[in-house]
Amino acid sequence: MKHLYKKAAKEGHPVLLLLHGTGGTEEDLLPIAETVDPDAAVLSVRGEVTENGMPRFFRRLSEGVFDEEDLVKRTGGLNGFLQEAADRYGFDRGNIVAIGYSNGANIAASLLFHYRDALKGAILHHPMVPLRNVALPAQTAPVFIGAGTNDPICPRSEAEELASLLQNAGADVHLHWENYGHALTASEIRAAADWYRAAF
Ligand code: MLT
């Protein structure tokens, strides 16, 4: 997968896996990684699917309606890539904390839905429920969900449902609300950074 990697400035800090939103690139979330943990390693990946020229992590049939077969396949591909990257760059596969926005948050959530040890933790900015009617593996990863009370793309009910599905699987979920629609604001990023510092 097209990606960029930055080594940790301090030994033992997590690897931040950055997953952009629809139409983004692997450069987009770099400033967020810098705010959340400037000493962490960074593995930032570009989605391999394109929709009218816009990179995404999996196909969708329409806005908010996912191609589940493709989602499952791409989630497996990303999980495999994480192992390859760990081998190539020599980091601990068990020390990855995802930071995803929108479509990137959805594939991060899908990793948690499919694999027990895919992530050590996750910051999900404006996620949806990636798919329903699957039995989640037991999850111990702490999860921050940043959501908008008035988000037209990722509605309030989706964030709440995602939080309870992850909680039922054992995850410690913190749900943070903003009132700026689908936008990722500085105050949401600050809240995620505060949560991260307490969690790791
Ligand atoms: C998705 O397709 O993953 C969601 O609708 C969010 C987005 O538009 O990226």
- Pick from 25, 60, 65, 125 the residue to mutate for probing ligand 1's pocket: most ligand atoms within 8 Å of its CB: 60
**Average pLDDT of the residues in 70-79:** 98
Decide yes or no: CATH 3.40.50.1820 for domain 3-199: yes
Ligand 1 centroid from CA 63, angstroms: 7
Residue 137: predicted pLDDT: 97
Is residue 96 very low, low, confident or very high in pLDDT (cuts 50, 70, 90)? very high
Instruction: State the average pLDDT over residues 146-155.
Output: 96
Q: Which atom of ligand 1 is nearest to the CA of 58?
A: 3
Can you tell me the distance from the alpha carbon of 109 to that of 169, in angstroms, rounded to the nearest whole number? Answer: 12
Told to judge if 28 belongs to the known catalytic residues of this protein, a careful annotator would answer: no
**Crossing angle (nearest 10°) for helices 156-168 and 103-114:** 20
Average pLDDT over residues 74-78: 98
Measure the N-to-C terminal CA separation of the chain; round to a whole number of Å: 27
d(CA 5, CA 57): 18
Does residue 44 sit in helix, strand or coil? strand
44 is catalytic: no
Contact, 33 vs 18, CB < 8 A? yes
Mean pLDDT computed over 18-31: 98
The predicted structure's pLDDT at residue 111: 98
Ligand 1 atom closest to the CA of 63, numbered from 1: 5
pLDDT computed for residue 39 by the predictor: 97
* Residue tagged active-site, from 102, 110, 114, 174: 102
Active site (annotated) includes residue 37 = no
Domain boundaries, the chain: 3-199
What is the Å distance from ligand 1's center to 40 Cα?
27
Top mutation candidate among 75, 102, 129 for ligand 1, by most atoms within 8 Å of CB: 102
Q: What is the mean pLDDT of the chain?
A: 97
Cβ neighbours for 61, distance < 8 A, ≥ 6 positions apart: 67
pTM of this structure: 0.97
| Ligand 1 atom nearest residue 105's Cα | 3
Residue-level pLDDT at 139: 94
Q: What percent of the chain has pLDDT over 90?
A: 96
Q: What is the pLDDT of residues 161-174, one digit of tens each?
A: 999 999 999 999 99
- Closest-CA residue, ligand 1 atom 9, reads 103
